[in-house]
Amino acid sequence: MNRAPLSADRSVVITGIGAVTPLGNDFDSIADALLAGRSGVVEIDGAGFSREARQFAAPVAAIPTVATDSDNAFDRLGQICLAASSAAKADAGLGDLRAGRGPVAGARVGLVLGIGAEQLKRWEADFLAGGGEVFSPDRPASLVHRIAARLGIQGPAVTVAAACASSGYALALARRWIATGLVDVCLAGGCDILSPTGFAAFYNLRALSRRSDHPSRASRPFDRERDGFVMGEGGAVLVLESRRHADARGARVRGELAGVGMSGDAAHMVIPSDDPTEAARAIHLALQSAGVQPADLDYVNAHAAGTPVGDVAEAAAIRLALGTATDHVPASSTKSMSGHLVSGAAAFEAIACLAAIDRQAIPPTLNLDSPDERCRLDHVPHVARPHPVTVTASNSFGFGGANLCLVIRRAA
């Protein structure tokens, strides 16, 4: 997957975007919010969630209604995934897949969703409602297959789990399916929701910020005063297809998923490795896959969630992978605005890269008042930076050592 760039006509391009996020539910709204430095973090009702007097998070304000969900067969996670998938399908102009009246037959369309804890969400919802149905054989089919059925997708449909990198791994798998000809088109991404279990787990791990002064100031990637991440919810689904196939059907091309790099270090269940070698290797492999050099990069969307250990580890990995180019490649963390969408983070941050390309500007890192001297990068604090952007890289580093980098560039 990481050896050589794909030929121009077989390159994998992005032809559709669907999203349900704290910063908006369509590309333009999200791009506007990111470039304006608008935070989606608010104070939420902590009942069932909070271990502190005040709880901050970045929730989805409203989930778009999908006509096919009229029977309310989906829980909140399912509704977000269905809405994002349906919007991506519509944005790509795929038409009616099941009836074959659109430009693509449903049997040649795949679906890959990165959902780190689907069964946990089911268990939690059932447990809080009184229990008794967790292992019932009458449970409906898995979420990804129910979404595929609703959208008329009859090709392969799977879920992948790689912690905070889940939706990025979904995009990587979809790219491989297309490159090998398994499908013509693939919807890929991932989503997550705010949940009592998630809050409790991350709080007990001391991964969550415990700031209580103001919601929009809580997420502080790379800042000396950072103390953890702010949880967000939502996610994104992208439509991928080969350039040859997209051109043949006259599809609008939003960008190219030019390269993928993955590695694993498994140093600790939740603490990043203090050796940046494997994380840097994921970045290096992504660049190699795309056929670009470090100096070719115009922007790095950092995973940087705002944890004291994680941000330092990532900065070291970026510097190791990019070498002297590090000082000249702008880097920022959009989690300072969106919060950490966990399973949905990588797909959402792919949209942030597309926004940088579309608007020719680098989204800022909010609250970067005093950059940590251990995170020596070309930071973009507080406000967006106008900048020519053609080639971008987006990092995702999941708990347990799931390292991922995606290279996204302007389509030729």
Determine whether 191 is an active site residue: no
Among 72-76, 196-200, 326-330, 384-388, where is mean pLDDT lowest? 72-76
Provide mean pLDDT across the span 144-151: 94
The pLDDT, as a whole number, for residue 412 is: 84
Mean of the per-residue pLDDT values for the chain? 91
Provide mean pLDDT across the span 344-348: 98
Among 192-201, 298-307, 332-341, where is mean pLDDT lowest? 192-201
Determine whether 303 is an active site residue: yes
Q: Which of 81, 164, 186, 353 is catalytic?
A: 164
Residue 231: pLDDT band (50, 70, 90) is very high
The pLDDT, as a whole number, for residue 117 is: 67
Q: Which residues of 189-210 are buried (b: 16+ CB within 10 A; e: fewer)?
A: bbbbbbbeebbeebbeeebbbe
Has domain 259-409 been given CATH number 3.40.47.10?
A: yes
Cα gap 384→301, rounded to integer Å: 13
Residue 1: pLDDT band (50, 70, 90) is very low
Q: Which of 186, 191, 284, 340 is catalytic?
A: 340
Q: Give the rounded distance of the alpha carbon of 144 from its chain centre.
A: 17
The pLDDT, as a whole number, for residue 122 is: 60
Residues of the chain with CATH 3.40.47.10: 13-248, 259-409
Provide mean pLDDT across the span 161-185: 96
Any idea of the CA torsion for 97, 145, 340, 408, to the nearest 10 degrees?
-40
Whether 151 shows a pLDDT value over 70: the answer reads yes
Question: 10 Å Cβ neighbour count for 181?
Answer: 10
Topology of domain 13-248 in CATH is Peroxisomal Thiolase; Chain A, domain 1 (3.40.47)
Determine whether 328 is an active site residue: no
Q: What are the DSSP calls for 286-315, one per residue?
A: HHHHHT--GGG--EEE----S-HHHHHHHH
pTM given for the model: 0.94
The pLDDT, as a whole number, for residue 120 is: 62
Q: Which of 81, 186, 191, 303 is catalytic?
A: 303
Whether 72 shows a pLDDT value over 90: the answer reads no
